């Protein structure tokens, strides 16, 4: 994955738009590729047809996903959407935006709570529960898993290693990422990248929600 490892960062801050331009940055290839998009004010990615879904996670700004027959869905900072497949879909913005796009193939298993074409917030998919950690698989296959987790204050995951790389999205509250022996405070809107087999832990300082994308492709 073409992303910094072992430090807190922000996809939005690290990928500013250029006036009058749209920018794409591929950070992971394969069947479930990951791309950051930076759109300047009043720019447009024209409608295109894809034979698979795309999960959009809006880091900053606002966009409109549009299509045929008057289809229009506005998204704002923190919103997500799985766009329709086999249908012309475009994206435009008046104010500018930075978002992550993850390809979801036909063979991938998507949670029934997620409906293509509907706007939702990842942080609202799972509730907090006293003294517990709640998690939901949003989509997965043999080489990828995208999970949302809610940690009550004081709960956490002890040190462990993942069998692949992990891109981490802090969604709500505050936590501490332990990585290779160093603690990294993290809050909503920030990101982290674990290398394959990197030793890490997660601790909720306050109630804390996160999403993580595990990729097992080389």
Q: What is the DSSP string of 17-46?
A: --TT-EEEEEEE-STT-EEEEEE-TTEEEE
In order of 86, 115, 156, the CA distances from 106 in angstroms are: 11, 14, 34
Residue linked to tokens 């990422």 = 177
Contact 217, 144 (CB under 8 A): yes
* Mean pLDDT of the 165-173 span: 97
What are the extents of the domains in the chain? 11-121, 123-215
Q: Looking at domain 11-121, does it have CATH number 3.40.1400.10?
A: no
216/23 Cα distance (integer angstroms) = 26
pLDDT of 133 over the 70 cut? yes
Same fold, 11-121 and 123-215: yes
* Mean pLDDT of the 50-70 span: 96
pLDDT confidence tier of residue 193, bands split at 50, 70 and 90: very high
138-156 per-position pLDDT tens digit: 999 999 999 999 999 999 9
- Quick one: pLDDT at residue 41? 98
- Quick one: pLDDT at residue 137? 97
Token couple for 12: 């939005």
Of the chain, the percentage scoring pLDDT greater than 90 comes to 96
81/56 Cα distance (integer angstroms) = 5
Contact 213, 191 (CB under 8 A): no
Assign domain 123-215 to its CATH architecture.
Sandwich (2.60)
Closest CA to 98 of 25, 179, 28: 25
């Amino acid at each position: 994955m073409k992303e910094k490892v072992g430090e807190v960062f922000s996809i939005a801050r690290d990928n500013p738009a250029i006036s009058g331009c749209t920018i794409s940055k591929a950070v992971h290839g394969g069947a479930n590729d990951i791309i950051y998009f930076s759109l300047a004010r009043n720019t447009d990615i024209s409608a295109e047809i894809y034979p698979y879904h795309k999960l959009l996670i809006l880091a900053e700004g606002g966009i409109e996903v549009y299509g045929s027959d008057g289809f229009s869905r506005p998204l704002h900072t923190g919103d997500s959407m799985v766009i329709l497949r086999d249908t012309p879909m475009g994206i435009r913005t008046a104010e500018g935006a930075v978002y992550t796009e993850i390809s979801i193939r036909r063979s991938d298993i998507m949670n029934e709570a997620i409906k293509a074409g509907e706007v939702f917030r990842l942080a609202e998919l799972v509730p907090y529960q006293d003294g517990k950690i709640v998690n939901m698989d949003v989509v997965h296959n043999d080489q990828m898993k995208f999970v949302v987790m809610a940690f009550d204050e004081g709960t956490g995951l002890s040190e462990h290693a993942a069998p692949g790389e992990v891109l981490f999205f802090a969604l709500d509250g505050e936590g501490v990422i332990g990585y290779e022996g160093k603690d990294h405070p993290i809050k909503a809107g920030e990101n982290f990248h674990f290398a394959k087999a990197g030793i890490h832990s997660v601790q909720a300082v306050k109630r804390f929600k996160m999403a993580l994308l595990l990729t097992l492709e080389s």
